[in-house]
Homo-oligomer: A and B are copies of this chain.
Amino acid sequence: MSTPRERARAQTLADITRLGREHLVTYGAAGLSLRAVARDLGVVSSAVYRYVPSRDDLLTLLVVDAYTELGATVEAAEAAVDRQDLLLRWEALAGAARTWALDQPARYGLLFGSPVPGYAAPAEQTTGPGTRVIMLLLTLAADAEAAGCRPSGRAAPPAVTADADRIRAEIGCPVSDQMLVAAVLAWVGLFGAVSFEVFGQYGRDTFGAPAQLFAEIVDRLAGVLGLSAPG
């Protein structure tokens, strides 16, 4: 049972997180300021220190918050489609990531943009939520191989094989070396495409139909994963 004080405290912490998110939108990660959050919260700046030990901890809070929401969104979208349709699962995963990023460009930038100078996200807190998308993608890759899909590409060199062995042991996901490389390409290709779109790398009006272009890219990456032609 929670006391009124506990509830008020949780509410205020939630408000701080929400305001932090909003400030991220306007001022970016480097411009995130405890004083500004305190102002919007209607409270004197030192009061925020009752809830958050420092500016960097607020940033960590927001990183975890963003990774968690992205992960949950992508997982939900992928889980909502037919398990047997591997191509559709990949498309759902990719599309959900893109949609979330376009809806939340500042939070996306916090996760996938340039690192904030002077700040390093503590691995203990961010690793879990930060790996949900790639874990989901590896599960999908394993299912695909089990269903007879074969990724494209040559055999991996020894150095990559060694990494692959370690990663398989860590995550317990039965994928071949080649599928692992293909999954990493799908991962970086997906977020590369999303980053170009969100960060405006494509140029102001080079592509009139970015959603269709994205679908084409996702289709080619499905080919790399071997999803189009199940054996």
Chain A contact residues, CB within 8 Å of chain B: 26-31, 109-110, 112-118, 123, 127, 130-131, 152-154, 156-157, 159-160, 162-163, 166-167, 181-182, 184-185, 187-193, 195-196, 199-201, 203-204, 206-209, 212-213, 215-217, 219-221, 223-224
CB distance from A70 to the nearest CB of B (A): 13
CB distance from A95 to the nearest CB of B (A): 15
Residues in B with CB closer than 8 Å to A115 are 28, 109, 199-200
In-complex Cβ contact of A30 among B26, B28, B131 (8 A): B28
Query: Once the chains bind, are A212 and B26 in contact (CB under 8 Å)?
Result: no
Residues in B with CB closer than 8 Å to A131 are 203
Query: Once the chains bind, are B204 and A112 in contact (CB under 8 Å)?
Result: no
Query: Once the chains bind, are A159 and B113 in contact (CB under 8 Å)?
Result: no
Residues in B with CB closer than 8 Å to A130 are 203
Residues in B with CB closer than 8 Å to A203 are 123, 127, 130-131
How far is B213's CA from A182's CA once the two chains are assembled, in angstroms?
10
Query: Once the chains bind, are A217 and B181 in contact (CB under 8 Å)?
Result: yes
Residues in B with CB closer than 8 Å to A208 are 159, 162-163, 166
How far is B200's CA from A115's CA once the two chains are assembled, in angstroms?
8
Which residue from chain B places its CB closest to the CB of A228 in the assembled complex? B154
CB distance from A164 to the nearest CB of B (A): 10
